[in-house]
Amino acid sequence: MSKELSENQLSYIGHLQLDRLLSCLQPLSTHPEEHIFITTHHSLEIWFKQLLFDLKRIIAHCDADELGQVNWLLKRVAEILRLAEAHWTVLETMSAADFLEFRGRLTGASGLQSRQFRELEVLCGLHEIAGEEYGRRVEDAWPGMIAGTPRTLRAAFFGVIARSGHRPEDIYRNRWRQFDLFTLLEGVFELDRRVAAWRQSHILMVRRQIGMRTRGTGGMVGQDYLAATTRQLFFPELWELRHDMSADAGGEVVAAGEPKK
Ligand code: HEM
């Protein structure tokens, strides 16, 4: 039995606005499996919101060279992304046969229209490296999104590195003496790696549910569009650095695009 609340006390339902939040689950069909489909989307959108919130804090802490806070929050970001990826195996308990019984009701609704997912990419600075075509697509879908994001994680991260006076390769070499900078490098790399894993697992889930050659409700064909997005990295420099480190350690690194023998 819960105790009575006095007039100036908040209730659980009131603080969390649960009536509003939970009333958002409105299936279009009578198919019982549409419930988990909507729940998965809602859950991921709520986590996207938290990621955007924390990434903005991380950017501000980077600009103030507060690496303790940056590295602490990057740990949380990595944990949330790990959790985000786990959503795909939950959704896969909805069989393809069940999904295809209500998929037609979705008409044009697609994750492609997730504003928060695109904001995440832009806040990390993808438009700064992914080429003009990417920037045009974002601007067509969300006019003003790029201009409304004056400071990105990429810019803030490279700002910290430049002010430190150390190159990433030297930070790796001197990692125990420059532990905060090393942790920062690994923290942003981990973010990149986990978003890449989220994209890959989304693709596997899509393959399972509709196949990769079926046109999506957003109009794209998975094998062309989704497969291409797996090449989008926020910190390609840090991935590339692995080649330099391998070569320095005596490993043979083939040139990009060179056929393997
Ligand atoms: C049965 C479940 C799902 C299927 C079959 C599916 C399929 C697809 C397909 C085919 C696309 C390419 C665009 C299109 O033509 O629609 C796409 C994009 C996308 N989906 Fe899903 N999806 C599913 C669930 C989800 C869920 C639960 C989320 C969570 C937010 C999500 C987020 C996204 C995002 C963000 C994109 C855009 C990716 C990018 O532009 O890089 N999807 N999805």
Domain 29-243 - what CATH class? Answer: mainly alpha
- Asked if residue 20 has pLDDT above 60, the reply is yes
Residue 66 DSSP label: -
Helices (H), 64-128: 67-91, 96-102, 115-124
Mean pLDDT of the region 8-14: 93
The reported pLDDT for the residue numbered 3 is: 75
* pLDDT single digits (tens) 153-206: 999 999 999 999 999 999 999 999 999 999 999 999 999 999 999 999 999 999
Ligand 1 atom 10 nearest Cα = 216
- Give the angle 70-74-76 at the CA atoms, nearest 5°: 125
- Asked if residue 44 has pLDDT above 70, the reply is yes
Bridge partners, 215 (sequence order): 221
CA–CA separation, 27 vs 42, rounded Å? 12
CA–CA separation, 136 vs 183, rounded Å? 34
> Cα-atom radius of gyration of the chain, to the nearest Å?
22
Distance (angstroms) between ligand 1 centre and the Cα of 226 equals 9
pTM of the model: 0.96
Ligand 1 atom 2 nearest Cα = 206
Tokens matching residue 210? 């509709």
Q: Read off the pLDDT band of 258 (50, 70, 90).
A: confident
Q: Read off the pLDDT band of 260 (50, 70, 90).
A: low
Question: Given ligand 1 and candidates 110, 113, 217, which is best to mutate, with the most ligand atoms within 8 Å of its CB?
Answer: 110
Tokens matching residue 230? 């797996």
Question: Given ligand 1 and candidates 34, 112, 220, 223, which is best to mutate, with the most ligand atoms within 8 Å of its CB?
Answer: 112
Q: Are 211 and 99 in contact (CB under 8 A)?
A: no
The reported pLDDT for the residue numbered 209 is: 97
* pLDDT single digits (tens) 66-105: 999 999 999 999 999 999 999 999 999 999 999 999 999 9
Q: Read off the pLDDT band of 127 (50, 70, 90).
A: very high
* pLDDT single digits (tens) 94-125: 999 999 999 999 999 999 999 999 999 999 99
Distance (angstroms) between ligand 1 centre and the Cα of 59 equals 28
CA–CA separation, 130 vs 234, rounded Å? 9
User: In degrees rounded to 5, what are phi and psi of residue 235?
Assistant: -130, 60
CA–CA separation, 221 vs 163, rounded Å? 44
Ligand 1 atom 43 nearest Cα = 111
Mean pLDDT of the region 131-136: 96
Helices (H), 221-261: 225-229, 236-248
Helices (H), 142-178: 153-164, 168-173
- Asked if residue 1 has pLDDT above 60, the reply is no
Ligand 1 atom 24 nearest Cα = 111
- Asked if residue 256 has pLDDT above 60, the reply is yes
The reported pLDDT for the residue numbered 261 is: 61
Tokens matching residue 5? 């609340």
- Identity of the residue numbered 94: M
Question: What DSSP assignment string belongs to 176-199?
Answer: TTSHHHHHHHHHHHHHHHHHHHHH
The reported pLDDT for the residue numbered 7 is: 85
| Residues lining ligand 1, Cβ inside 6 A | 40-41, 44, 91, 99, 110-112, 114, 117, 202, 206, 209-210, 216-220, 222, 225-226, 229
The reported pLDDT for the residue numbered 257 is: 79
Longest dimension (CA), the chain: 76
CA–CA separation, 134 vs 132, rounded Å? 5
Ligand 1 atom 37 nearest Cα = 112
Ligand 1 atom 26 nearest Cα = 41
| Residue closest to 116 by CA, chosen among 44, 40, 61 | 44
